[in-house]
Amino acid sequence: MRRSRLILTIALLSIPAIIAIVVATRDDGAEEADGASGPKIELAGAKLSKDDVEDITKDAMGTSDLKDVKEAGPDEAAASMEGTLVGKVRTFSLEARPVRWEYRSGQRIAAWGYNGQVPGPVLRANEGETVKVEFRNELPVATTVHWHGIDVPWQQDGVPGVTQKAVEPGESFSYQFTATPAGTRWYHTHGSGMDDEASQIDMGLSGALVVRAKREVPADVDQVLVLDEWSIGSGGYNAAMLAGHGAHSAGSSFNVFTMNGRAAPNIEDVVVKKGDRVRLRFVNASSVSYHPMHVHGHQARVVALDGNPVPSPTTRNVELLAPGQTADIEFVADNPGVWMLHCHDLHHSTSGMSLLLRYEGYEPISDEHGGGDDDPADAKADGDDEDPAAAAGMEH
């Protein structure tokens, strides 16, 4: 059965893991922590009891049963927010809360999102505007929001114990700063001050912040792609939940890699027309992984790094993003067809970090078996999806 194959694949990928969540192979659909035969969590070789699993779930999700956590997926998510503009002040509302996020059709992970989505919404502002973010913490733990790459006043930088007290559960904090400099920036948790920044970000607390330059000529296609990594056990448990229970973070056990919170074959296509100027804004929200991003069939210019314009853009086929980095690439859509856009760490691309760059009017070659065995994209057909077309990345 396919779920068993997926679990086996995850287990093989996790051999070097410091932490592994090992769950007995179960039938399709039995993904909850219910009954006496529920998940057995192995932590550094020690098996955790059902009570421990419930404690861990309660600490991370505010309830001992994952079933009680609200589900959300791309259908419920607002991809982008312009906020409310009054004069020169743009106000956003951002709320951190637990969510069972659908990272692939029918597959969910226990996560923390902003406004119930993973990653958080893309916040968009114009250079020079005053940005106000009314932040509310509905997590069971304290947290903060850091504005990465923005020249904020120091008290707005979101570092607990340095620039502010952590925002406790149920409390709010209003961040205010000028949107500058322009470019692809981002926001993410800086933890609670208890050395939990890595585990908090591994729970999903990040999002992009795009500051439009005053003289920016908009691209025809302008797409943010937030890159992230996950350590997911069967049942949708997230290894980052183990923080505070003897584990620091998921470390090297990452087994699913996403763009905009989705794993192949369920990442939305980037759709272009011939002649379009295409700008892709990569944000590496991973705590550990480097992602060499690769676009097939086009020569891409790296026009901005960490949001800042590159004076003499280089033309690249692969652009490597370290954890925390952003990179903007641009190309002219001059080669109609259907192309892969993926991480060239092929362990990442076969574990989700792969999408289609598709010209309008073009479809992938139909192959109900999802392509040959040599195709790295084929591994993504090993998911739970019932629909072979979807499994082959042909959902459109």
Q: Is 291 in the site for Cu ion (CB under 5 A)?
A: yes
Which residues have a Cβ under 8 Å from the Cβ of 142 and sit 6 or more positions away?
A: 160, 166, 167, 168, 169, 192, 193, 194
- Least gap, CB of 344 to Cu ion (angstroms): 7
Q: Is 279 in the site for Cu ion (CB under 5 A)?
A: no
Q: Interacting stretch for Cu ion, rule CB under 5 A, among 106-114, 196-204, 290-298, 318-326?
A: 290-298
Residue closer to Cu ion (CB basis): 173 or 230: 230
- Using CB under 5 A as the binding criterion, the count of chain residues that bind Cu ion stands at 4
- Least gap, CB of 384 to Cu ion (angstroms): 22
Q: Is 226 in the site for Cu ion (CB under 5 A)?
A: no
**By the 8 A CB rule, do 359 and 338 touch?**
yes
- Torsion angle of C-alpha atoms 25, 29, 30, 31, degrees rounded to 10: 90
Rounded CA-CA distance 170/177 in Å is: 23
**Cβ burial 226-248 (10 Å sphere, 16+ → b, else e):** bbbbbbbbbbbbbbbbbbbeebe
Residue numbers 322-381 binding Cu ion by CB under 5 A? 343, 345, 348
**How far are the Cα atoms of 212, 270, 318 from residue 222, in angstroms, in the given order?**
12, 10, 19
Residue closer to Cu ion (CB basis): 97 or 294: 294
Q: Interacting stretch for Cu ion, rule CB under 5 A, among 26-34, 235-243, 287-295, 305-313?
A: 287-295
Rounded CA-CA distance 143/150 in Å is: 19
Q: Interacting stretch for Cu ion, rule CB under 5 A, among 44-52, 119-127, 200-208, 286-294?
A: 286-294
Residue closer to Cu ion (CB basis): 345 or 385: 345
Residue closer to Cu ion (CB basis): 323 or 336: 323
Residue closer to Cu ion (CB basis): 31 or 345: 345
- Least gap, CB of 292 to Cu ion (angstroms): 7
- Cβ atoms within 10 Å of 90's Cβ, excluding its own: 21
Q: Quick one: tokens of 86?
A: 């009054």
- Least gap, CB of 269 to Cu ion (angstroms): 19
- Interaction site with Cu ion (CB under 5 A): 291, 343, 345, 348
